[in-house]
Chain A
């Protein structure tokens, strides 16, 4: 039992996987490292040591302004969005029991995108100004994701929901929703077209503190919720008969987890758009490192997701400077081949 240490105190007990704790620590350091590098890169280059000083309020005035006011919100937004998408994907893969499930392929991010574009089209006046506060945008995205998740679930229902039906209906509806999004853009104000284009690819360009403080509680709360639901996810992965046999209320848990997963994906999409394939890749890499047990998989996948988006954003804004390439372009560039690799592997 050397891999595990039980923690017990009165009626509270928990089994700690030391391998997972080590992996978690390693990824925390990795994320912190990339974050510091990214905070130091840009028009004004700041060495890592100065970045750390600036973060703790002990740096030069100019450095502090650039790091804390301009760059930090963007870094945090990238991190949070990556974490949310990864956790969402990890949950979907568990309840659908298919390694190819992810919020993008299931139409959940598509639903959020459609909601956002609809919101922007409906609430724009002739002068291209929004008639309502932009604060409502996340809610629209969240509702879009949630509605889409529910519709997919409802259509897949046939005295219970089987993973296969869920995936097939998800793929079908993704395409329908993409078509609708395109129609919305055609009918929407012209300026919207370019904006929406960048946004649907996924970018953290133009992040501000306001967005960070709105996303932060959502993302962290929902990820924490998934983490403490780990044993329900573990049991779902063994199939309906086993889960039902050990006393899980399978359909109820599945619907609930689907809702949390949609909420996470939706909240990420609201702020950074459809950064592709993170929800697919991160849980996979996580599984390779800490195995399939969700207590370890949820936090590790989340950190990997954060790392991926953070890294993609860093490369996107430094490699082709002064041009900025949206983070979603890079995640898709790695993600699409990864997806094909997974397809080929699962075929055997």
Chain B
């Protein structure tokens, strides 16, 4: 089966069309990162994949079935979404928040099954939050708070996890911490991860597959090494840059040609004469 795909998907806010007639397959069991300029529609695309935004036209398919025809709870048992900077009610504890990830499995009579308990415990363990279980979420640091939300999404026990800029507002060390956690989930448990990230260099480090959203469609996609070129960055972000393999991991490293620390360097001269 195919995992998540879009068929002739058109997304719009009122008159403004954001994505037009998109056919795209998101590979199963991989980490896919959506990149693009501000307002390119990458978050909009992610929201529609998670059925939070109704398509103007076309469909999103999950394992070959249109998600609009499935019950929303059935979708929630297969796919979870963590929106950008969610807000937590004052005083809610870590445990109280994480257990709500079990919502799609519960009903009037069955509100806390043994299965629910196991899933929540596992999610807290994976995110190293066991010792914070009874602490109010708002008393934790930014990095810990983000781990709590990820734990909630994990408690949902879905094959596919969508995340909208999970590292916003975090310092670099915590950004890496969150990305390592997601990386481990993908490599150890084979979960499909599709996320929007802002930082181009971090995106290519963690992505198996990058999807460049530009001009109302997927402008380019594939392995970061093949997709990320100076021409693409110029075209999509309107930024002159140099791309070279980073000395340690060998992934493409983007060096923007800004004015700061200006030097006379031959590779910069080459860019200038383009």
Are the chains A and B members of one assembly?
yes
Task: Show the binding face of A for B, using Cβ within 8 Å.
Answer: 1, 3-4, 6-8, 11-15, 97, 99, 228, 231, 234-235, 237-242, 244-249, 287-288, 291-293
Contact across chains for B86 and A238 when beta carbons are under 8 A apart: yes
Pairs A–B under 8 Å by Cβ, sample size 8:
A97-B89, A99-B90, A231-B103, A238-B87, A245-B83, A247-B71, A288-B91, A292-B89
Give the distance in Å from the alpha carbon of A240 to the alpha carbon of B72 in the complex: 14
Give the distance in Å from the alpha carbon of A237 to the alpha carbon of B101 in the complex: 13
CB distance from A238 to the nearest CB of B (A): 6
Interface digits, B98-118 against A, CB 8 Å rule (1 contact, 0 not)? 011101101011111110110
Partner of A293 from the list B51, B92, B133 (CB cut-off 8 Å) is B92
Give the distance in Å from the alpha carbon of A288 to the alpha carbon of B136 in the complex: 12
Interface digits, B65-96 against A, CB 8 Å rule (1 contact, 0 not)? 00000011111110011110011111111011
Q: Does B271 contact A (CB under 8 A)?
A: no
Chain B residues touching A, range: 35 or more
Residues of A within 8 Å of B152, CB to CB, are: 242
CB distance from A11 to the nearest CB of B (A): 6
Contact across chains for A246 and B104 when beta carbons are under 8 A apart: yes
Give the distance in Å from the alpha carbon of A8 to the alpha carbon of B75 in the complex: 27
Give the distance in Å from the alpha carbon of A317 to the alpha carbon of B50 in the complex: 58
Main secondary structure of the interface of A (DSSP, over half): mixed
Given A239-B86, A245-B50, A246-B100: A13 and B81 within 8 A (CB)? Answer: no
Give the distance in Å from the alpha carbon of A11 to the alpha carbon of B88 in the complex: 31
Task: Show the binding face of B for A, using Cβ within 8 Å.
Answer: 47, 50-52, 71-77, 80-83, 86-93, 95-97, 99-101, 103-104, 106, 108-114, 116-117, 133-134, 136, 152, 156
Residues of B within 8 Å of A291, CB to CB, are: 91-93, 96, 136
Residues of B within 8 Å of A246, CB to CB, are: 76, 80, 100-101, 103-104, 156
CB distance from A20 to the nearest CB of B (A): 11
CB distance from B51 to the nearest CB of A (A): 7
* 10 pairs of A and B residues whose beta carbons are closest in the complex: A247-B76, A241-B83, A247-B73, A15-B112, A245-B81, A247-B104, A246-B103, A292-B89, A247-B72, A292-B92
Residues of B within 8 Å of A242, CB to CB, are: 83, 86, 152
